[in-house]
Amino acid sequence: MPSRSVPRKYAEALFQLAEKAEGPRAILGDLESLVGLLRRMPTLLSFLESPDVGHEEKLKLLQNSLREKVKQSTWLFLTLLLRRKRIELLPEILAEFVAIDEEKRGVQRARVVSAVSLEKGEEKLLTSALRRITGKEILVETRVDPAIMGGVVVYLNGKVIDGSARNRLEELRNQLLATPAN
């Protein structure tokens, strides 16, 4: 059995702690804010990762700037990541935390690619159909790609449902090439 990824292990531990303390949604908000901060201030991440800066100095900076702005569980988790020199994993841990939260709530993400933007009614119908198929709440992320020519391609739970015009034309082409000439 393959081992879970390091970010997944951290996310699972934090999620268990969050369930017993402030709640996953509260911690999720903290994590999103922290990851946003690190993305807006890459120098902060460089400082926190730097081997030339001592642990106490890094901790002091975080204490002065973040301690009062995050939940207790988030603070303890952040100091753990700092101590273990894993702070750079925070964006991946956030992604895993979101995935765990969605799994627990019975939510599944679907990525939908269409040749043109879907109208609200079309997106609602598609979401409803996917909900019936999976039995789960569906979060749809849409993207436009004119190269598919028409129809939609749905990526759901590691599977691809290709209803694009491009795919249908390719299937027709293959059928015609496989048909012997008279």
* Angle CA 127–132–137, to nearest 5: 60
Q: Are 91 and 127 contained in the same domain?
A: no
| Any domain includes 1 | no
Owning domain of residue 87: 6-102
Number of Cβ within a 10 Å radius of residue 45: 16
Q: Report the distance separating Cα 111 and Cα 124, nearest Å.
A: 14
Q: Are 97 and 19 contained in the same domain?
A: yes
- Which pLDDT does position 117 carry in this prediction? 93
| Any domain includes 122 | yes
Of 102, 130, 145, which one is at a domain's C-terminal end? Answer: 102
- Which pLDDT does position 54 carry in this prediction? 92
- Which pLDDT does position 182 carry in this prediction? 65
Q: Are 58 and 136 contained in the same domain?
A: no
Tens digit of pLDDT at every position of the chain (182 positions): 345 699 999 999 999 999 999 899 999 999 999 999 999 999 999 999 999 999 999 999 999 988 889 999 999 999 999 999 999 999 999 999 999 999 899 899 999 999 999 999 999 999 999 999 888 999 999 999 999 888 899 998 788 988 888 888 888 888 888 888 76
For residue 24, give both structure tokens.
């996953």
